[in-house]
Structure 1
């Protein structure tokens, strides 16, 4: 084999080794570069999270505070709305009850209903029935006859200038106040019932 050919073969072997060695070095460098970049990305993400965490916490707190404020504002607006409805409803209810008392059939129903309640709760004697001065005598007589039929024989009817509608039944220390003022005395309870009915209708 000639020296020139031998030299060429040795050069080819050296070139192949060098190429293979360079390829290995490049692959190793690329892997190290990827690892460095990945570590840098992880570190950057951790750093960014650490930087943003207080801002996220502040934003969450601001959102929660805004939501709480909104809930409070809605509740207050609803309370004002219901209070306005009750202010409007109260005089209408008073007028409706006056209207019932001024209608003979409804007045009779009002009286008989509450006399029946009194009979169930009070001794059937010694009654004083207080009533408005303009309650017709014929209706008083009808109520007295009904009471006698139920076993109450000693009811006395007393006109009371302070009553404008309804009756009061007095028996000793017992009192059934079915006057207009008596029926409306517990305004808080009545308004609570009105609100309950309003909520059911909404």
Structure 2
């Protein structure tokens, strides 16, 4: 009986050891699976963080490039605007020099009359001229108007007019003054830009 009891105790003990080993094996397998899963998740998180960091770096780089390009264009626009202002001043000075030259002034007056003849309606013309227009130029202007077929002319001087003339008829006006020539700022700037960009 004692022998049987010992056998039974040995059997129970061996079963307990086997069961413990089986449970430990299962725990080791589960632990290995959990560790592998944790490693996989950690690698995925690291990979996502690296990708996110790369995206953020690329966005920052793109933003910096865009800002640099905007700044470059703004700088170029400021330089172009300054150059245009300088060219506009030079153009105004050249026009005033042309007005001071007798031949240039007569060409200006003749061109103003010719353009007014094609753009104004028929009737009595009103001529606004500089107060200091020389008598010879006044005679030239009157002759040019008569040659264009305009019979009735009313003249008046304007002390604020420094160069050119303004011609009106029945409420319509053709402005061949310095201010009138320079009035189309955008058109002048476009032409100046085209000239500046020529090689």
TM-score (structure 1 length as normaliser): 0.69
> Secondary structure, in 3 states, of the residue corresponding to 2:152?
coil
1:99 aligns with: 97
Q: Does 1:123 align with 2:121?
A: yes
| Preserved CA contact (<8 Å) 1:130 1:157 | yes
Deviations 1:131-161 (A, max 9, x none): 1122122222222222222211222332221
The correspondence for 1:155, drawn from 153, 156, 171, is: 153
Looking at structure 1, the residues matched to 138 and 178 of structure 2 have their Cα atoms a distance apart, in angstroms, of 18
1:85 aligns with 2:83: yes
CA offset digits 1:76-101 (Å, max 9, x no partner): 11111112212322322221111010
2:198 aligned with 1:201, yes or no?
Answer: yes
What is the aligned partner in structure 2 of residue 21 from structure 1? Answer: none
SS of alignment partner, residue 60 of structure 1: helix
Q: 1:137 to 1:124 in 2, by over 3 A?
A: farther
CA contact (8 A) 1:125 1:154 kept: yes
Superposition CA RMSD, Å: 2.5
- Alpha-carbon separation, structure 2, partners of 1:80 and 1:54: 38
The corresponding residue for 1:111 is 109
1:119 Cα deviation after fit: 0.5
> 1:47 and 1:163 mapped to 2: Cα distance?
78
Confirm whether residue 190 of structure 1 aligns to residue 176 of structure 2. Answer: no
CA contact (8 A) 1:132 1:165 kept: yes
Alpha-carbon offset, residue 49 of structure 1: 4.3
Higher relative contact order (CA 8 A, sep 6+): 2
1:67 match: secondary structure? helix
| Alpha-carbon contact 2:125-2:152 (below 8 Å) kept | yes
Distance between the aligned counterparts of 2:161 and 2:83, measured in 1?
28
Number of equivalent positions: 160
User: Which ranges of structure 1 fall in alignment gaps of 5 or more residues?
Assistant: 1-42
Hey, what's the Cα distance between the residues in 1 that align with 2:91 and 2:118? 27
In the alignment, the residues of structure 2 paired with residue 150 and residue 97 of structure 1 have an alpha-carbon distance, to the nearest angstrom, of 25
Match of 2:142 in 1: 144
2:176 match: secondary structure: strand
Contact kept, 8 Å, 1:167 with 1:178, in 2: the verdict is: yes
Q: Is the 8 A contact 2:124 2:152 kept in 1?
A: yes
Note the residue ranges of structure 2 that are not aligned, 5 or more in a row. Answer: 1-40
For the residues of structure 2 that align with 1:113 and 1:87, how far apart are their CA atoms?
A: 26
1:15 is matched with which residue? none
